[in-house]
A and B are shown apart, each in its own frame.
Chain A
């Protein structure tokens, strides 16, 4: 493989990731062997594309129903995560504010410090909640489809983090395009915290499900 061209390496990588699991190694070897005999890049591309197509068809035929089920479950979990987080965000910031007001009566610290403390506690509670719920969702999604756990979890993590990431970037771009307006950091950090906590939670939950599933993993088909 040392003398392999960049195209061959790319083809090997694509086939290893997306071709049907049935005799995948032999298929990769056959594609490379045929390419070394023909030396035609177009043929190599055609063979790889066909293998990807058949790989997708194989997955749908074997696991289509459970794969769709896992994605639906992930979507439902995402809605629960999002709605509950909105409510928790409001309550956490209000609760933290009340807590700080009570502490302020005997702490003797300045208003700015206390406000900062209130915000930090609120963000920590919010992040903890999102992380916890995402962890449970990730665990459940990971257990639903053992054969394609990694794909489901990656999709779920991206799905959960996508809206928040877009909003956070939007805030950032707005500020950078017009810095005179002033920077309201709260919405930006709110969305960023949500996105990060969701990704970490989902992947963490998924890794926990992987440990639990390792004991009785079904044979790879």
Chain B
């Protein structure tokens, strides 16, 4: 019984996605860069400014939903605004876990990037 439970725990662990996708990571950093005014449009603007490509708002919200589920960001509803048809903005900010995650990811990525320029791809020596 215990052994089978253990197997299920391993399976669960294997199916859990522990790392963020590239878009999720970009949205996480977009929230950080936008600061107190981090909402859908401003986050998309931050990403567009760096990637020079258009970003669909729906994809930003899909990423924010997953980040919020993982406890990396938290949301707060603002006041309704006339230019948005009387709809309120939802502001996001990083939680302590979110801040920790981006710091750790940055360190890992920096270590991985170190010296990569010097390595020639196979067959291009």
Number of A-B contacts (CB under 8 A): 82
Contact A22 to B61, CB < 8 A, known contacts A29-B88, A29-B89: yes
Interface contact B84-A20, CB-CB below 8 Å: no
Q: Are A53 and B58 in contact (CB under 8 A)?
A: yes
Q: What distance in Å separates the Cβ of B52 from its nearest Cβ neighbour in chain A? A: 16
* B65: Cβ under 8 A from any A Cβ: yes
Are B84 and A29 interface neighbours, CB within 8 A?
yes
For chain A residues 1-29, which have a beta carbon within 8 Å of chain B? 1, 4, 8, 12, 19-20, 22-23, 25-29
Q: Is the Cβ of A23 less than 8 Å from the Cβ of B75?
A: yes
The B55-89 residues at the A interface (CB cut-off 8 A) are 56-59, 61-62, 64-65, 75, 77, 81, 83-89
Segment of A31-39, A78-86, A130-138, A141-149 in the binding face: A31-39
Q: Which residues of B contact A47 (CB under 8 A)?
A: 56-58
Q: Is the CB of A54 within 8 A of B58?
A: yes
A-side contacts of B56, CB under 8 Å: 46-47, 50-51, 54
Q: Closest CB of chain B to A53's CB: distance in Å?
A: 7
Give 21 A-B contacts (CB < 8 Å), ordered by A residue. A20-B58, A23-B90, A25-B87, A26-B87, A26-B88, A26-B89, A26-B90, A28-B85, A29-B87, A30-B39, A30-B57, A30-B84, A30-B89, A33-B84, A34-B41, A34-B57, A47-B58, A50-B57, A51-B58, A55-B58, A57-B62
